[in-house]
């Protein structure tokens, strides 16, 4: 019986562990340690029972409108999805159809090669430089599309707008996707480039900077024409991707800019203090502009530290992958959580 021969086989992405326990200090999946804006909870509470009975708006107009006015673009320039993973997966399916290899960095978000394999898209990775930055010239060659996060994950390194533009400019025959999952933590967005480049797509998420990983909201910003193709692919797949609570919660989150700014500031301040302390303990890392720090210790192997931290109830992320297997990716938690982490490390390392 040969049916298995005819089955699509994939090696799935492995997300960070979500322990059921409450007593864990959870610094392993770059979630925000603070709750979402109070209006988010209120918006979900106010949904009337009869609204649950109906299908949600397949065009997600209210959320797209609020994102459009927030970013100063047209509603047609916003596409929303079930987390940015949904937007990205749909984009791989839609935009990377040339049969030529798409390009992305060798050290990057580990979902990219999974989607490429799922959709049978050929790909080539380009090595990051020793300081974990991208060499834009690596992307000045024939290809089927380009994708990279800015800041990059899991390094936290931010590329300048000049680097991003150089890559977009050199690749106007293909779609270039800039995954800005962490841009709110101090990065410079490629948003102004949308006016000039029809081939650029920017992807954002509510999961990190807006404390809403549980609601699954992501979106893309791009030219109207580019997004029309993504729209058609989505409506050939599943029209009702966005559920009603997520749509309402998303609008409410965007409405509270003061809360957003205040809590971003807190994460950034904690990150900068944590950098100083980690340096004092003998860690080194590239400068992070995200809500995590990707750090290696001078003497203690990362895998050993990872296991010891886990044993003591502190979860961080470790990637057993050549080139980065001596690094820990540590998400920025509250000041109290970071104090507990640093206290453990201080004690363990001495």
Ligand X SMILES: *Cc1c(COP(=O)(O)O)cnc(C)c1O
Stretch that binds ligand X, among 83-91, 122-130, 231-239, 297-305 (CB under 6 A): 83-91
For residues 290-326, one letter each, b for 16 or more C-beta atoms within 10 angstroms of the residue's C-beta and e for the rest, the string is bbbbbbbbeebebeebbeebbeeebbbbbbeeeebee
Shortest Cβ 64–ligand X spacing (Å):
16
Cα–Cα distance measured from residue 81 to residue 220, given in angstroms and rounded to the nearest whole number: 8
Site string for ligand X, 211-250 (x = CB under 6 A): --x----x--------------------------------
- Residue 50, classed as helix, strand or coil, is helix
> Using an 8 Å Cβ cutoff, are 235 and 91 in contact?
no
85 binds ligand X (CB under 6 A): yes
114 binds ligand X (CB under 6 A): no
Judged by CB under 6 A, the residue of 32, 143, 150, 205 near ligand X is 205
Closest CA to 164 of 182, 199, 189, 129: 189
Shortest Cβ 111–ligand X spacing (Å):
7
Site string for ligand X, 137-176 (x = CB under 6 A): ------------x---x-----------------------
Judged by CB under 6 A, the residue of 33, 36, 56, 83 near ligand X is 83
Shortest Cβ 265–ligand X spacing (Å):
21
181 binds ligand X (CB under 6 A): yes
Point out which residues pair with 296 in neighbouring strands: 284
Judged by CB under 6 A, the residue of 84, 189, 270, 291 near ligand X is 84
Nearest residue (beta carbon) to ligand X:
83
Stretch that binds ligand X, among 11-19, 82-90, 125-133, 186-194 (CB under 6 A): 82-90
Q: Where are the beta strands (DSSP E) in 78-229?
A: 78-81, 102-105, 123-126, 146-149, 176-179, 200-205, 218-222
- Name 214's Cβ contacts closer than 8 Å, sequence gap at least 6: none
Closer residue to ligand X in complex, CB, 213/340: 213
Shortest Cβ 317–ligand X spacing (Å):
11
Shortest Cβ 325–ligand X spacing (Å):
19
Cα–Cα distance measured from residue 157 to residue 263, given in angstroms and rounded to the nearest whole number: 21
Shortest Cβ 147–ligand X spacing (Å):
10
- Name 280's Cβ contacts closer than 8 Å, sequence gap at least 6: none
DSSP code at position 188: -
DSSP secondary structure letters along 249-273: HHHHHHH-HHHHHHHHHHHHHHHHH
Cα–Cα distance measured from residue 286 to residue 324, given in angstroms and rounded to the nearest whole number: 12
Shortest Cβ 204–ligand X spacing (Å):
8
- Residue 218, classed as helix, strand or coil, is strand
Closer residue to ligand X in complex, CB, 85/278: 85
For binding to ligand X (CB under 6 A), which residues are involved?
Answer: 30, 83-85, 109, 149, 153, 179, 181, 205, 207, 213, 218
């Amino acid at each position: 019986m040969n049916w298995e021969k005819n089955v699509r086989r994939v090696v799935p992405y492995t997300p960070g562990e979500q322990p059921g326990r409450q007593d864990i200090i959870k610094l392993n999946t770059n979630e925000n340690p603070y709750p979402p804006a109070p209006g988010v909870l209120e918006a979900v509470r106010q949904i009337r029972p009869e609204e649950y009975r109906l299908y949600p708006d397949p065009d997600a107009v209210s959320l797209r409108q609020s994102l459009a006015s927030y970013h100063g673009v047209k509603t047609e320039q916003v596409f929303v999805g079930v987390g940015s993973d949904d937007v990205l997966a749909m984009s791989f399916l839609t935009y990377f159809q040339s049969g030529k290899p798409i390009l992305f960095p060798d050290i990057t978000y580990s979902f990219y090669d999974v989607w490429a394999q799922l959709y049978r898209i050929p790909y080539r990775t380009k090595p990051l430089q020793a300081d974990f930055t991208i060499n834009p010239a690596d992307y000045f060659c024939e290809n089927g599309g380009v994708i990279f996060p800015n800041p990059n994950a899991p390094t936290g390194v931010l590329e300048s707008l000049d680097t991003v533009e150089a890559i977009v400019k050199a690749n106007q025959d293909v779609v270039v996707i800039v995954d800005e999952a962490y841009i709110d933590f101090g990065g410079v967005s490629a948003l102004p480039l949308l006016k000039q480049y029809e081939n650029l797509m920017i992807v954002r998420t509510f999961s990190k900077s807006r404390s809403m990983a549980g609601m699954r909201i992501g979106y893309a910003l791009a030219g109207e024409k580019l997004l029309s193709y993504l729209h058609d692919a989505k409506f050939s797949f599943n029209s009702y991707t966005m559920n009603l609570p997520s749509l309402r919660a998303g609008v409410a989150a965007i409405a509270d800019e003061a809360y957003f700014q205040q809590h971003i500031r807190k994460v950034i301040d904690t990150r900068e203090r944590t950098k100083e302390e980690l340096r004092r303990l003998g860690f080194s890392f590239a400068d992070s502009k995200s809500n995590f720090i990707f750090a290696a210790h001078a003497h203690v192997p990362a895998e050993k530290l990872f296991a010891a931290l886990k044993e003591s109830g502190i979860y961080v992320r470790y990637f057993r992958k050549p080139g980065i297997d001596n690094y820990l990716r540590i998400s920025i938690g509250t000041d109290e959580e970071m104090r507990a982490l640093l206290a453990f490390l201080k004690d363990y390392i001495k």
